[in-house]
Amino acid sequence: MTPAARDRPSISVVMPMYNEEENVSTTLKAVRQELEQLDVSWEIVLVNDGSTDDTLVLVQEAAAKDARVRVISYTPNLGRGRALRTGFAQARGDIIITIDFDLSYSAELILKLYQELLRDPGLDFVVASPYMPGGKTLDVPRGRLYLSKLANKVIGFALGGRFKTVTGILRGYRRQVIQALELSASGKEIHLEILSKLMALGYRGGEVPAVLQGRRRGRSKFRLGATSLSHLAFTFFERPMIFFGFLGLILFILGLINGIYIIVLWQKGTLNPQRPLMTLLVLLILGGVQVFAFGFLAMQLVALRRELYILQRENRLIRQRLQEQDAENSHNSCAD
Protein backbone atom coordinates (compact mmCIF):
# COMPACT_ATOMS: atom_id res chain seq x y z
CA MET A 1 0.00 0.00 0.00
CA THR A 2 1.34 3.40 -0.99
CA PRO A 3 1.63 6.27 1.51
CA ALA A 4 -1.18 8.06 -0.33
CA ALA A 5 -3.44 5.03 0.05
CA ARG A 6 -2.72 4.80 3.77
CA ASP A 7 -3.65 8.46 4.29
CA ARG A 8 -6.71 8.33 2.06
CA PRO A 9 -10.04 9.48 3.63
CA SER A 10 -13.16 7.39 3.09
CA ILE A 11 -15.14 10.22 1.50
CA SER A 12 -14.35 13.42 -0.36
CA VAL A 13 -17.00 16.08 -0.96
CA VAL A 14 -16.05 18.19 -3.99
CA MET A 15 -17.78 21.57 -4.20
CA PRO A 16 -17.12 24.09 -7.00
CA MET A 17 -17.62 27.75 -6.05
CA TYR A 18 -18.01 31.00 -7.92
CA ASN A 19 -19.01 34.16 -6.02
CA GLU A 20 -20.68 32.32 -3.13
CA GLU A 21 -19.69 34.55 -0.21
CA GLU A 22 -23.29 34.65 1.05
CA ASN A 23 -23.37 30.85 1.37
CA VAL A 24 -19.93 30.02 2.80
CA SER A 25 -20.85 29.94 6.48
CA THR A 26 -24.18 28.11 6.22
CA THR A 27 -22.99 25.63 3.57
CA LEU A 28 -19.82 24.53 5.36
CA LYS A 29 -21.72 24.21 8.65
CA ALA A 30 -24.41 22.03 7.06
CA VAL A 31 -21.95 19.79 5.21
CA ARG A 32 -19.76 19.36 8.29
CA GLN A 33 -22.79 18.40 10.41
CA GLU A 34 -23.69 15.63 7.98
CA LEU A 35 -20.16 14.30 7.61
CA GLU A 36 -19.63 14.27 11.38
CA GLN A 37 -22.36 11.64 11.59
CA LEU A 38 -20.12 9.22 9.73
CA ASP A 39 -17.67 7.15 11.71
CA VAL A 40 -15.08 7.47 8.93
CA SER A 41 -12.45 9.97 7.81
CA TRP A 42 -13.56 12.63 5.35
CA GLU A 43 -12.48 15.78 3.56
CA ILE A 44 -14.17 18.73 1.86
CA VAL A 45 -12.49 19.88 -1.35
CA LEU A 46 -13.51 23.45 -2.19
CA VAL A 47 -12.63 24.59 -5.71
CA ASN A 48 -12.74 28.37 -6.04
CA ASP A 49 -13.41 28.97 -9.73
CA GLY A 50 -12.12 32.53 -10.03
CA SER A 51 -14.50 34.23 -7.59
CA THR A 52 -14.37 38.04 -7.61
CA ASP A 53 -16.03 38.56 -4.21
CA ASP A 54 -14.84 37.45 -0.74
CA THR A 55 -15.52 33.74 -1.29
CA LEU A 56 -11.84 32.78 -1.32
CA VAL A 57 -11.01 34.75 1.84
CA LEU A 58 -13.89 33.16 3.75
CA VAL A 59 -13.15 29.57 2.75
CA GLN A 60 -9.44 30.00 3.46
CA GLU A 61 -10.35 31.14 6.97
CA ALA A 62 -12.48 28.02 7.37
CA ALA A 63 -9.68 25.80 6.05
CA ALA A 64 -7.22 27.32 8.51
CA LYS A 65 -9.44 26.09 11.36
CA ASP A 66 -10.02 22.57 10.00
CA ALA A 67 -7.39 20.53 8.16
CA ARG A 68 -10.13 18.42 6.61
CA VAL A 69 -11.24 21.42 4.56
CA ARG A 70 -8.99 21.92 1.54
CA VAL A 71 -9.12 24.90 -0.83
CA ILE A 72 -7.97 24.89 -4.45
CA SER A 73 -8.17 28.25 -6.19
CA TYR A 74 -7.35 29.73 -9.58
CA THR A 75 -8.30 32.68 -11.78
CA PRO A 76 -10.07 33.58 -13.97
CA ASN A 77 -13.46 31.87 -13.86
CA LEU A 78 -13.23 28.85 -16.19
CA GLY A 79 -16.56 27.11 -15.66
CA ARG A 80 -18.03 24.31 -13.59
CA GLY A 81 -16.46 21.59 -15.72
CA ARG A 82 -12.97 22.86 -15.11
CA ALA A 83 -13.71 23.23 -11.39
CA LEU A 84 -14.96 19.66 -11.11
CA ARG A 85 -12.03 18.26 -13.07
CA THR A 86 -9.69 20.09 -10.72
CA GLY A 87 -11.57 18.73 -7.71
CA PHE A 88 -11.52 15.16 -9.02
CA ALA A 89 -7.76 15.34 -9.53
CA GLN A 90 -7.23 16.57 -5.96
CA ALA A 91 -9.78 14.40 -4.14
CA ARG A 92 -8.29 11.54 -2.14
CA GLY A 93 -11.40 9.80 -0.81
CA ASP A 94 -12.45 6.28 -1.77
CA ILE A 95 -15.86 7.75 -2.59
CA ILE A 96 -16.23 11.20 -4.15
CA ILE A 97 -19.46 13.19 -3.81
CA THR A 98 -20.12 16.32 -5.89
CA ILE A 99 -22.71 18.88 -4.81
CA ASP A 100 -23.67 22.50 -5.53
CA PHE A 101 -22.22 25.00 -3.07
CA ASP A 102 -25.56 26.75 -2.65
CA LEU A 103 -27.03 23.43 -1.43
CA SER A 104 -29.85 23.40 -3.94
CA TYR A 105 -29.73 19.76 -2.93
CA SER A 106 -29.74 19.27 0.84
CA ALA A 107 -26.47 18.27 2.51
CA GLU A 108 -28.34 15.24 3.92
CA LEU A 109 -28.16 13.68 0.47
CA ILE A 110 -24.37 13.37 0.77
CA LEU A 111 -24.90 10.61 3.32
CA LYS A 112 -27.64 9.05 1.23
CA LEU A 113 -25.35 8.71 -1.80
CA TYR A 114 -22.46 7.47 0.34
CA GLN A 115 -24.62 4.85 2.03
CA GLU A 116 -26.06 3.70 -1.31
CA LEU A 117 -22.57 3.02 -2.64
CA LEU A 118 -21.68 1.17 0.56
CA ARG A 119 -24.90 -0.85 0.44
CA ASP A 120 -24.30 -2.11 -3.09
CA PRO A 121 -20.60 -2.85 -3.80
CA GLY A 122 -21.51 -3.48 -7.43
CA LEU A 123 -22.45 0.16 -8.01
CA ASP A 124 -19.76 2.36 -9.53
CA PHE A 125 -21.68 5.63 -9.28
CA VAL A 126 -25.00 7.01 -8.02
CA VAL A 127 -27.07 9.89 -9.43
CA ALA A 128 -29.50 11.94 -7.32
CA SER A 129 -32.74 12.62 -9.18
CA PRO A 130 -35.62 14.99 -8.43
CA TYR A 131 -37.46 13.66 -11.48
CA MET A 132 -37.74 9.99 -10.52
CA PRO A 133 -40.55 8.60 -8.32
CA GLY A 134 -39.98 9.85 -4.79
CA GLY A 135 -38.07 12.95 -5.91
CA LYS A 136 -39.48 16.46 -6.15
CA THR A 137 -38.65 20.14 -6.67
CA LEU A 138 -39.36 23.12 -4.39
CA ASP A 139 -39.43 26.83 -5.28
CA VAL A 140 -37.71 26.34 -8.64
CA PRO A 141 -38.78 29.02 -11.19
CA ARG A 142 -41.44 27.50 -13.42
CA GLY A 143 -39.75 28.34 -16.73
CA ARG A 144 -36.41 26.93 -15.64
CA LEU A 145 -38.08 23.81 -14.22
CA TYR A 146 -39.94 23.16 -17.48
CA LEU A 147 -36.75 23.51 -19.53
CA SER A 148 -34.84 21.28 -17.11
CA LYS A 149 -37.45 18.51 -17.30
CA LEU A 150 -37.56 18.73 -21.09
CA ALA A 151 -33.77 18.66 -21.38
CA ASN A 152 -33.49 15.66 -19.08
CA LYS A 153 -36.11 13.75 -21.07
CA VAL A 154 -34.46 14.45 -24.43
CA ILE A 155 -30.86 13.95 -23.30
CA GLY A 156 -31.85 11.02 -21.11
CA PHE A 157 -33.33 9.34 -24.19
CA ALA A 158 -30.10 9.99 -26.10
CA LEU A 159 -28.20 8.30 -23.26
CA GLY A 160 -30.39 5.23 -23.37
CA GLY A 161 -33.20 6.24 -21.02
CA ARG A 162 -31.69 4.63 -17.92
CA PHE A 163 -31.65 7.78 -15.79
CA LYS A 164 -34.39 10.32 -15.11
CA THR A 165 -31.90 13.09 -14.27
CA VAL A 166 -28.74 13.47 -16.35
CA THR A 167 -27.87 17.16 -15.96
CA GLY A 168 -27.52 17.38 -12.16
CA ILE A 169 -24.31 17.82 -10.17
CA LEU A 170 -25.30 15.77 -7.11
CA ARG A 171 -23.64 12.40 -7.67
CA GLY A 172 -21.43 9.89 -5.91
CA TYR A 173 -18.53 8.10 -7.60
CA ARG A 174 -15.99 5.52 -6.58
CA ARG A 175 -12.65 7.26 -6.81
CA GLN A 176 -11.01 4.74 -9.14
CA VAL A 177 -13.95 5.08 -11.54
CA ILE A 178 -14.17 8.86 -11.87
CA GLN A 179 -10.39 9.31 -11.92
CA ALA A 180 -10.13 6.76 -14.75
CA LEU A 181 -12.06 9.07 -17.09
CA GLU A 182 -10.35 11.43 -19.52
CA LEU A 183 -12.58 14.50 -19.12
CA SER A 184 -12.40 17.66 -21.22
CA ALA A 185 -15.60 19.71 -20.72
CA SER A 186 -15.27 23.09 -19.00
CA GLY A 187 -18.93 24.03 -18.61
CA LYS A 188 -22.02 22.36 -17.20
CA GLU A 189 -21.97 19.84 -20.02
CA ILE A 190 -19.38 17.97 -17.96
CA HIS A 191 -22.26 16.18 -16.20
CA LEU A 192 -23.33 14.77 -19.55
CA GLU A 193 -19.78 13.92 -20.56
CA ILE A 194 -19.20 12.00 -17.33
CA LEU A 195 -22.42 10.02 -17.63
CA SER A 196 -21.83 9.27 -21.31
CA LYS A 197 -18.33 7.95 -20.71
CA LEU A 198 -19.28 5.96 -17.61
CA MET A 199 -22.03 4.20 -19.54
CA ALA A 200 -19.88 3.68 -22.65
CA LEU A 201 -17.22 2.03 -20.47
CA GLY A 202 -19.74 -0.33 -18.91
CA TYR A 203 -19.77 1.07 -15.39
CA ARG A 204 -22.88 0.34 -13.35
CA GLY A 205 -24.88 3.24 -11.99
CA GLY A 206 -27.86 3.74 -9.71
CA GLU A 207 -30.33 6.54 -9.07
CA VAL A 208 -31.86 7.74 -5.82
CA PRO A 209 -34.71 10.24 -5.32
CA ALA A 210 -33.79 13.73 -4.20
CA VAL A 211 -35.39 17.11 -3.52
CA LEU A 212 -34.17 20.05 -5.61
CA GLN A 213 -34.60 23.38 -3.82
CA GLY A 214 -34.57 26.75 -5.58
CA ARG A 215 -31.61 29.00 -4.69
CA ARG A 216 -32.22 30.96 -1.49
CA ARG A 217 -29.09 33.15 -1.34
CA GLY A 218 -26.74 34.55 -3.96
CA ARG A 219 -27.19 34.82 -7.71
CA SER A 220 -27.84 31.87 -9.98
CA LYS A 221 -25.04 31.03 -12.45
CA PHE A 222 -27.49 29.43 -14.89
CA ARG A 223 -27.20 30.77 -18.46
CA LEU A 224 -30.13 29.63 -20.59
CA GLY A 225 -28.61 30.23 -24.04
CA ALA A 226 -25.20 28.69 -23.48
CA THR A 227 -26.56 25.75 -21.50
CA SER A 228 -29.26 24.96 -24.05
CA LEU A 229 -26.84 25.06 -26.97
CA SER A 230 -24.32 22.82 -25.22
CA HIS A 231 -27.05 20.31 -24.34
CA LEU A 232 -28.38 20.27 -27.91
CA ALA A 233 -24.87 19.74 -29.26
CA PHE A 234 -24.29 16.90 -26.80
CA THR A 235 -27.56 15.21 -27.82
CA PHE A 236 -26.56 15.38 -31.48
CA PHE A 237 -23.08 13.94 -30.91
CA GLU A 238 -24.37 11.25 -28.54
CA ARG A 239 -27.28 10.08 -30.71
CA PRO A 240 -26.87 11.57 -34.22
CA MET A 241 -29.56 9.31 -35.64
CA ILE A 242 -32.15 11.39 -33.77
CA PHE A 243 -31.37 14.31 -36.10
CA PHE A 244 -30.51 12.41 -39.27
CA GLY A 245 -33.34 9.93 -38.83
CA PHE A 246 -35.94 12.66 -38.28
CA LEU A 247 -34.71 14.74 -41.22
CA GLY A 248 -34.46 11.71 -43.51
CA LEU A 249 -37.96 10.59 -42.57
CA ILE A 250 -39.39 14.05 -43.29
CA LEU A 251 -37.74 14.14 -46.74
CA PHE A 252 -38.93 10.61 -47.51
CA ILE A 253 -42.52 11.42 -46.48
CA LEU A 254 -42.49 14.60 -48.56
CA GLY A 255 -41.29 12.53 -51.51
CA LEU A 256 -44.14 10.05 -51.05
CA ILE A 257 -46.69 12.87 -50.82
CA ASN A 258 -45.24 14.37 -54.00
CA GLY A 259 -45.47 10.96 -55.70
CA ILE A 260 -49.11 10.54 -54.71
CA TYR A 261 -49.82 14.04 -56.01
CA ILE A 262 -48.23 13.13 -59.36
CA ILE A 263 -50.37 9.98 -59.60
CA VAL A 264 -53.56 11.94 -58.84
CA LEU A 265 -52.75 14.51 -61.54
CA TRP A 266 -51.94 11.75 -64.02
CA GLN A 267 -55.25 9.98 -63.29
CA LYS A 268 -57.13 13.24 -63.84
CA GLY A 269 -55.25 13.92 -67.04
CA THR A 270 -54.00 17.26 -65.74
CA LEU A 271 -50.34 16.35 -65.26
CA ASN A 272 -48.19 19.05 -66.83
CA PRO A 273 -44.90 17.58 -68.12
CA GLN A 274 -43.35 21.05 -67.94
CA ARG A 275 -43.55 21.06 -64.13
CA PRO A 276 -40.49 19.55 -62.38
CA LEU A 277 -42.59 17.34 -60.10
CA MET A 278 -40.79 14.13 -61.09
CA THR A 279 -37.41 15.74 -60.49
CA LEU A 280 -38.58 16.92 -57.08
CA LEU A 281 -39.82 13.40 -56.30
CA VAL A 282 -36.43 11.88 -57.10
CA LEU A 283 -34.56 14.54 -55.12
CA LEU A 284 -36.73 14.11 -52.04
CA ILE A 285 -36.54 10.30 -52.03
CA LEU A 286 -32.80 10.20 -52.71
CA GLY A 287 -32.22 13.00 -50.22
CA GLY A 288 -34.06 11.08 -47.51
CA VAL A 289 -32.07 7.92 -48.23
CA GLN A 290 -28.79 9.84 -48.19
CA VAL A 291 -29.56 11.53 -44.89
CA PHE A 292 -30.38 8.11 -43.38
CA ALA A 293 -27.01 6.90 -44.68
CA PHE A 294 -25.26 9.82 -42.98
CA GLY A 295 -27.00 8.78 -39.77
CA PHE A 296 -25.66 5.24 -40.00
CA LEU A 297 -22.15 6.55 -40.65
CA ALA A 298 -22.45 8.84 -37.64
CA MET A 299 -23.51 5.86 -35.51
CA GLN A 300 -20.33 4.06 -36.53
CA LEU A 301 -18.30 7.10 -35.47
CA VAL A 302 -20.05 7.03 -32.08
CA ALA A 303 -19.07 3.36 -31.71
CA LEU A 304 -15.45 4.20 -32.58
CA ARG A 305 -15.50 7.04 -30.08
CA ARG A 306 -16.51 4.60 -27.35
CA GLU A 307 -13.56 2.39 -28.25
CA LEU A 308 -11.38 5.47 -27.88
CA TYR A 309 -12.78 5.99 -24.37
CA ILE A 310 -11.57 2.50 -23.45
CA LEU A 311 -8.06 3.24 -24.73
CA GLN A 312 -8.01 6.57 -22.86
CA ARG A 313 -9.03 4.82 -19.64
CA GLU A 314 -6.32 2.18 -19.99
CA ASN A 315 -3.66 4.82 -20.66
CA ARG A 316 -4.82 6.87 -17.70
CA LEU A 317 -4.77 3.87 -15.37
CA ILE A 318 -1.25 2.97 -16.50
CA ARG A 319 -0.08 6.53 -15.76
CA GLN A 320 -1.69 6.41 -12.33
CA ARG A 321 -0.01 3.08 -11.50
CA LEU A 322 3.37 4.46 -12.56
CA GLN A 323 2.85 7.56 -10.42
CA GLU A 324 1.91 5.41 -7.42
CA GLN A 325 4.99 3.22 -7.94
CA ASP A 326 7.21 6.31 -8.13
CA ALA A 327 5.66 7.64 -4.92
CA GLU A 328 6.19 4.29 -3.18
CA ASN A 329 9.81 4.07 -4.35
CA SER A 330 10.43 7.65 -3.19
CA HIS A 331 8.89 6.86 0.22
CA ASN A 332 11.04 3.71 0.58
CA SER A 333 14.18 5.65 -0.36
CA CYS A 334 13.47 8.26 2.27
CA ALA A 335 12.82 5.52 4.86
CA ASP A 336 16.18 3.91 4.07
Q: What is the DSSP string of 187-220?
A: STTHHHHHHHHHHHTT--EEEEE-EEE---SS--
Report the pLDDT averaged over residues 205-222.
Answer: 78
Q: What percent of the chain has pLDDT over 90?
A: 50
Contact predicate 124/41, CB 8 Å: no
Structure confidence by residue, pLDDT tens digits, 73-94: 999 999 999 999 999 999 999 9
Output 332 or 133, whichever has higher pLDDT: 133
What is the model's pLDDT at position 3? 46
Note the pLDDT of residue 277.
86
d(CA 159, CA 95): 24
pLDDT average, residue stretch 116-142: 93
Mean pLDDT of 63-71: 96
- Written out in words, the top-level CATH class of the domain with range 3-232 is alpha beta
pLDDT of residue 103: 93
The lowest-confidence range among 42-51, 87-96, 130-139, 228-237 is 228-237
The secondary structure of residue 42, as a DSSP letter, is: E
**Which ranges constitute the DSSP H helices of 36-168?**
55-65, 80-90, 108-119, 142-158
* Beta partners for residue 105, in sequence order: 212
Burial class (CB in 10 A: 0-12, 13-18, 19+), 268: exposed
With 60 as the cut, is the pLDDT of residue 146 above it? yes
Q: What is the pLDDT of residue 8?
A: 84
pLDDT tens by residue, 1-41 = 454 555 789 999 999 999 999 999 999 999 999 999 999 99
Q: What's the average model confidence in pLDDT over 182-193?
A: 90
Q: What is the mean pLDDT of the chain?
A: 87
What average pLDDT does this structure show over 191-207? 92
Per domain, the residue ranges of the chain are: 3-232, 240-335
Instruction: Please determine, for residue 179, whether its predicted confidence score (pLDDT) is greater than 70.
Output: yes
- Cα separation, 152 vs 320, in Å, equals 34
DSSP one-letter string for 290-314: HHHHHHHHHHHHHHHHHHHHHHHHH
